[in-house]
Amino acid sequence: MPTQHTEYQYNLTPFKEIMRFILYRREVGFSAFFINVFGNVIAFMPMGFFLPAVTGKELNGVQILLLCFLLSLSVETVQLLTRIGCFDVDDMILNTLGGWLGYLVNRVLRPWIRR
């Protein structure tokens, strides 16, 4: 029985996969489009929201961006090294955006949270 050789896939081109899912959203279906484009954003929003409370420090937006980017880079690097999942620079962009949006929600809700 012949063995099938599959090469590890990765994306180093910013916005390549995001644009592909936007352009072919009808072909891939709404679920695949939503999960791939918005799933990473939504998944990282709690990190940006809770990171200031977890660290006990007053973090600004730039610090949150950097920390979310570094965590996302770590996750993607583990995927690259273990060849589980797919290293994708677009995931890092979306994850970082999600963390930053979570931080913005935290800032907006902060007056009500402290009450």
Please indicate, yes or no, if residue 1 is contained in any of the structural domains.
Answer: no
Q: Is 41 domain-assigned?
A: yes
What pLDDT digit, counting tens, does each position of 62-87 carry?
Answer: 999 999 999 999 999 999 999 998 99
Number of domains in the chain: 1
- In terms of residue numbers, what domain contains 40? 12-113
In tens, the pLDDT along 86-97 reads: 999 999 999 999
Query: What is the percent of the chain where pLDDT is above 90?
Result: 81
Quick one: which of 5, 21, 18 has its CA closest to 95?
A: 18
Q: Is 26 within the bounds of a domain?
A: yes
Instruction: Examine residue 2 and state whether it is found in any structural domain, yes or no.
Output: no
Q: Is residue 58 part of a domain?
A: yes
Residue 3 lies in a domain: no
Is 8 a residue whose pLDDT tops 90? no
Tell me if 40 is assigned to some domain: yes
Cα separation, 51 vs 57, whole angstroms: 9
